[in-house]
Amino acid sequence: MADQSSPANGGGEKPAILIIGGLGYTGRYLARYLHQNNLTSDIRLVDKHLPELAWLAPEFKEACSKERFMQADASREQALQRVFDRDGGKQFDFVFNCGGETRYSQEDEVYKMRSYGLSMAVGKEAAKRGVKCYVEISTGMVYKPDSVPRKETDKLKPWSKLAKWKLTAEEDLAKVEGLNLLVFRTAHVYGPYTSKFLATALCMARTYQALGEQMKWLWKEDLQQNTVHVEDVVRALWTGAQWYVNGSPPRRPAPTFNLVDHGSTSQGHMAKLMHDTFNIETGFHGTLISTYARLNLDHVVDDVNDDLLDPWAELQTNAGISQSTPLSPFMEKELLKDTDLSLDGSLFEQTTGFQYEHPQLTQEEIEKVLESYRTMGWWPGVSVTLNRT
C-alpha cells in the first residue's frame, strides 16, 4: 500500500480531506477508515442530510461527528465557497466525491441534477483551488455488457440511466482545465449496513423463507453480478489518491480504475448463498419465462414487487420493527436486466500494489451483513413468521 503519511503538502504534514456525500454509504466508511488510521490533518464531511436522519451505526458516530460535519448541497454554486473554505486560506489536499443519486430507475433529470451536476460543480471548484487529487466514484455499468470481465480500455455503453450520467460526468470532468482527476468504477458495493444490491436479495430471500416459497431468478446462472466490499473500496480510494500525488501530477489522461473483488460473483453464486443462508429452495426460471420477461420487464418487476412488499411489511410488523429502515425487497427494473456486470480489476492492483482484504462474497460475509441489520433493529429474525391461511 502507498505510504500512509505521504507528503501531500510538500512537507510531512498529513493531508486535509473533503468528503462530498460524507454520510452516504461509501462516505461514512471512508471517514471511519481515515479516522481510525489517523491519516488526516483535517477532515470535513459534507452532506445534504443530517446525521440524525442517516441511519448511522454507533461505530461511525465519532468519525462522522458534528465537528467534522457540514450540511450543504454541494451541487449548488452558492454553497461551494462555504464547502471548500478553510481557516487561514488553506485548501483541501484531496476531495472525494462519494455523493450523488444512488437510486436506480429515476428520471434523467434527477441524475443530471443530483449526480452529474454535483460532480461538475465540485470538480470545477477543486480545479480552481488547486486540489492535489479529486477522486470521482463512478460505476462499472458504463461498459458494454459482456460476461468476459471488462477492462478500463473496453467499449463503453452504459446500461442504466445512473451509469449514463456517471459516464458523462467522467468525460466532462476530464475536460476541466487544471483538475487532478482520478476515477474509480465499482462493481456492486456491499458490506455491513448495506441497503442496495445485496440487501434487496437478502430481503427477498427472507420473505420467501417466511412464505415457504422457492426463490427463483430470471436469465441464467452464469450472469455476472460482480461485487466489491465497501472496506476494500475506501482503502482503494485512499491508496489511489496517495499514488496520484506521489507520482508527478497532473496525470493525463485522467487515470481510471475498476474496483472489483476476485469472486466473479454470478447469479448462480448468489442463489447458492441465499439457499445456504436461509435454507430455502432456489432455482432459475426456464427459457420460456425468461423470454417473456425480456419482452415484458415492467410487468414482471411489478408482479414480483406486489408479491413481496406486503409480506415484508407484515414480517417487520410481526417483529416489532416500528421505525422505518433502509431495507426493502423492492426490485429495481434496471437491476433485473439480462446484463452482465463483469469487471477486471487487475490494473489497479498492478499499478499500486493494492490487495483486497475481502476477496469474494461468502456466506461468512453475508452473516456479518445480517448481524449488522440485527444490531440496528432492522431485521426480522427467523422466529418471526407469516400466518397464511
What's the confidence (pLDDT) of residue 1? 40
Residue 192 · residue 368 · CB < 8 Å? yes
Q: Confidence band (pLDDT; 50, 70, 90) for 294?
A: confident
Residue 191 · residue 57 · CB < 8 Å? no
* pLDDT at 162 > cutoff 50: yes
What's the confidence (pLDDT) of residue 103? 81
Length of the chain (residues) = 389
Q: What is the mean pLDDT of residues 185-211?
A: 96
What's the confidence (pLDDT) of residue 249? 66
DSSP 10: S
251 or 383, higher pLDDT: 251
Burial class (CB in 10 A: 0-12, 13-18, 19+), 107: exposed
Would strands 227-229 and 69-71 be described as parallel, antiparallel, or unpaired? Answer: unpaired
Query: For residue range 318-327, what is the model confidence (pLDDT) as tens digits?
Result: 999 988 899 9
- Percent helix, strand, coil in the chain, to 5, is 40, 15, 45
C-alpha cell at position 319: 417483529
Residue 373 · residue 327 · CB < 8 Å? yes
What's the confidence (pLDDT) of residue 278? 96
What's the confidence (pLDDT) of residue 19? 98
Query: For residue range 48-61, what is the model confidence (pLDDT) as tens digits?
Result: 999 888 999 999 99
C-alpha cell at position 68: 467534522
* pLDDT at 4 > cutoff 50: no
Selection from 307, 305, 325 nearest residue 316 by Cα: 325
What's the confidence (pLDDT) of residue 9? 47
* pLDDT at 11 > cutoff 70: no
What's the confidence (pLDDT) of residue 288? 76
Q: Confidence band (pLDDT; 50, 70, 90) for 247?
A: confident
> What are the structural domains, with CATH classification, of the chain?
16-190+226-259 (3.40.50.720), 197-224+265-339+361-375 (no CATH)
Range from 120-124, 158-162, 172-176 carrying the lowest mean pLDDT: 158-162
CA max distance for the chain: 72
Q: What is the mean pLDDT of residues 299-311?
A: 90
Range from 151-155, 192-196, 383-387 carrying the lowest mean pLDDT: 383-387
CB atoms within 10 A of CB 44: 21
Distance between CA atoms of residues 284 and 274, nearest Å: 13
Q: What is the mean pLDDT of residues 281-285?
A: 91
Is the bond leading into 255 cis (omega within 30 degrees of zero)? Answer: no
Selection from 60, 373, 96, 94 nearest residue 233 by Cα: 96
* pLDDT at 12 > cutoff 90: no
* pLDDT at 85 > cutoff 50: yes
User: For the chain, how far is it from start to end, CA to CA, in angstroms?
Assistant: 58
Q: Confidence band (pLDDT; 50, 70, 90) for 370?
A: very high
What's the confidence (pLDDT) of residue 290? 78
Range from 20-29, 258-267, 292-301 carrying the lowest mean pLDDT: 292-301
In angstroms, what CA-CA distances link 329 with 195, 301, 326, 384? Answer: 10, 11, 10, 17
What's the confidence (pLDDT) of residue 62? 94
SS3 217: strand
Q: What is the mean pLDDT of residues 227-254?
A: 92
* pLDDT at 304 > cutoff 60: yes
The pLDDT mean for the chain works out to 91
Q: What is the mean pLDDT of residues 183-197?
A: 97
What's the confidence (pLDDT) of residue 5? 41
* pLDDT at 6 > cutoff 60: no
Distance between CA atoms of residues 149 and 334, nearest Å: 20
Query: For residue range 140-152, what is the model confidence (pLDDT) as tens digits?
Result: 999 999 999 999 9
